[in-house]
Amino acid sequence: MSSKAPKRIFLTEDEMPKQWYNVRADMKNKPAAMLNPGTLKPITAEELEHVFCSELVKQELDDTTQYFDIPEEVQNFYKIFRPSPLIRAYELEKALDTPAKIYYKFEGNNTSGSHKLNSAGAQVYYAKKQGLTSLTTETGAGQWGTALAMACEHYGMDLTVYMVKCSFEQKAYRKAIIETFGANIIASPSNTTNVGRQILAKFPNTTGSLGCAISEAVEKAVSTDNCRYVLGSVLNQVLLHQTIIGEESKIQLEKVGDYPDVVIGCAGGGSNLGGIISPFMRDRLTGEKNPRFIAVEPISCPSLSRGKFAYDFCDTGHVTPLAKMYTLGAEFMPSPSHAGGLRYHGMSPILSQLYHDGYIDEARAVLQTKVFEAANFFAKTETILPAPESSHAISVAIDEALRCKEEGKSETILFNLTGTGYFDMTAYMSYRDNTMSDIIPTDDDLQAGFASLPII
C-alpha cells in the first residue's frame, strides 16, 4: 500500500455484496401502501401482477425482509461491469483547495453509461425466469432504455421503449445505441396507445414527459400477451436493486478507513439516491452513525423541495397505481432541460417518507447553468465527462466542499457519479455558447400541477 489512499478503490468479485438491502425493514414509518387507481384501495399482489412480473411484485410489497439474496445469475450479470470503482477526487479537492475529502462512486463505467444497469439486470432476469417473452418501458435521458436493452439482449427478451419525445429528438445517437442493443424505440407521446393519442390530442406540441411515457408503456404491456412493464426508478424494487451501489461504497470506504459525513445524490425518481444512501441510512435509522443526506434536484422540476406529500398517480395517463410521495402533480410538465432523467413529477415513496420524517436532511434545487459549470469543472479536473443528471450531485458536492473550506472542516463527502455525458454533447455545447437557459417554475405553474392531484 502507498501511504496515500489510492485514487481508485476497487473490490474483487468476491468482495461484491451478495444481498440487496431493503431499507423499509428498518423504517419506523413505512412508505404508504400503493392504491388501486380504480378502487382507491390498497393494491393487491394479484392486481400488480398484471403489470409487473411476480417476483418483483413480492419485492415491491415487502416491508419487512431486511435483505434479499441477489440470484447467482444476476451476480454473474453484475460481474460484467461491477464492482464499480469508488474514486477519491484528489484532483477536484486540489482545484477547490478544500480540506474536505471527496469520494465518488462511479456508476457510469459501463456502456449503458449509468447505474441503471443494476436494476435492469435484475428485472429482466426475473421476467425471463417467469417465462415472459417481452417487456415494455419508458426512458427519459435514454440511460434506462439503454441499460434495459442491454439486459434484454443478454437474457434474450424482446423490448419496446417509449422515449420521452424531447430526448428522442435531442439524442439521435442515444436512440441509435438503444437500437444497437436490439430494442424497438418509439417517441412518446405516440399514436401506438390510447393514452398517447389522448395526450397528443390535448397537447399536440408537447415534448413529452416521463409520466406520459410510463402510461404508454404500461398500456402496451397489459395489452400484449406474455409481456410485462418494467420501470427504471421510483419503485421500491428498483431502490432495492440499486442498494448494490451503497453497499459497495461502504465496503470501499472501510478499506481506506473512512465514513461519509455527508452523502449526496441527484434525485429524479430516486433510484440512484436511494441506492447510494441505503446502507448509510441503515446506520442512521439504527442509531449507529449520523451521516447527513442531500437530495439534489433540478430547479425546473423540484418535486421534493416544492412538491406536496400526497397520493398521486405515477403517470400522466392515470393507468398506474397511486403512490404517496412528494409530487408536483402528474400533469405538471417540466420545461425541457438537459437532465432528461430528472424530469419526473414525483419521487420514490421510500425517499419521500424518509424526507418527510427528516432522515433525508435536505433537498436542494439547483440551476441548470450552475450544474453545467460544475460539470465542466469536474471534467477538467477529474477527467471524467459527467452526465447532466450526475452533475447535479457534483454541483452540491462542490458547494459542500467549499463550505468545509470556509468552516475549516475536513469532512468526508460521498456522492454518486451516476453516469457519463457522451450523449449529452448538445447540452455541453449549449452551455459553452451561452444559449442554455434556466427556467424556474412559477407558483402558478406549480398550482396548475397540484390541481391535477387526486382528492383522497
Binding site for a second copy (CB under 8 A): 1-2, 6-8, 10, 12-14, 79-81, 91, 109-113, 150, 153-154, 172-173, 176-177, 179-182, 376, 379-380, 382-385, 420, 422-423, 425-426, 428-429, 432
Helical residues (DSSP H) of 312-387, grouped into ranges: 349-356, 368-382
Q: What is the rounded CA–CA span in Å between residue 272 and residue 224?
A: 30
Residue among 151 and 414 whose Cβ is closer to a second copy: 151
Q: Cell 440512484, residue?
A: 272
Q: How far is the CB of 117 from a second copy (least distance, A)?
A: 8
Residue among 13 and 69 whose Cβ is closer to a second copy: 13
Grid cell at residue 50: 398484471
Helices 349-356 and 271-285 pack at an angle, to 10 degrees, of 40
Q: How far is the CB of 73 from a second copy (least distance, A)?
A: 13
Residue ranges of E strands in 299-403: 308-313, 322-327, 362-366
Grid cell at residue 374: 460544475
The β-bridge partners of 137 are 161
Residues 6+ apart with CB under 8 A from 61: 45, 48, 236
Q: What is the rounded CA–CA span in Å between residue 194 and residue 197?
A: 5
Q: How far is the CB of 298 from a second copy (least distance, A)?
A: 21
Residue among 176 and 451 whose Cβ is closer to a second copy: 176
Q: What is the rounded CA–CA span in Å between residue 386 and residue 401?
A: 18
Residues 6+ apart with CB under 8 A from 137: 144, 145, 148, 159, 160, 161, 162, 217, 229, 230, 231, 232
Q: How far is the CB of 91 from a second copy (least distance, A)?
A: 7
Residue among 84 and 193 whose Cβ is closer to a second copy: 84
Residue among 12 and 64 whose Cβ is closer to a second copy: 12
Residue among 50 and 380 whose Cβ is closer to a second copy: 380
Picking from 377, 372, 397, the residue whose alpha carbon sits closest to that of residue 387 is 372
Q: How far is the CB of 410 from a second copy (least distance, A)?
A: 22
Q: What is the rounded CA–CA span in Å between residue 15 and residue 85?
A: 13
Residue among 22 and 110 whose Cβ is closer to a second copy: 110
Picking from 443, 379, 385, the residue whose alpha carbon sits closest to that of residue 95 is 379
Residue among 109 and 303 whose Cβ is closer to a second copy: 109
Q: How far is the CB of 242 from a second copy (least distance, A)?
A: 18
Q: How far is the CB of 65 from a second copy (least distance, A)?
A: 27
Q: What is the rounded CA–CA span in Å between residue 307 and residue 105?
A: 28
Residue among 110 and 348 whose Cβ is closer to a second copy: 110
Strand 8-9 relative to strand 86-88: parallel, antiparallel, unpaired? antiparallel
Grid cell at residue 123: 428485472
Q: How far is the CB of 175 from a second copy (least distance, A)?
A: 9
**φ, ψ dihedrals at 313, nearest 5°:** -75, 150
Q: How far is the CB of 230 from a second copy (least distance, A)?
A: 18
**φ, ψ dihedrals at 342, nearest 5°:** -110, 10
Residue among 120 and 360 whose Cβ is closer to a second copy: 120
Q: How far is the CB of 368 from a second copy (least distance, A)?
A: 17
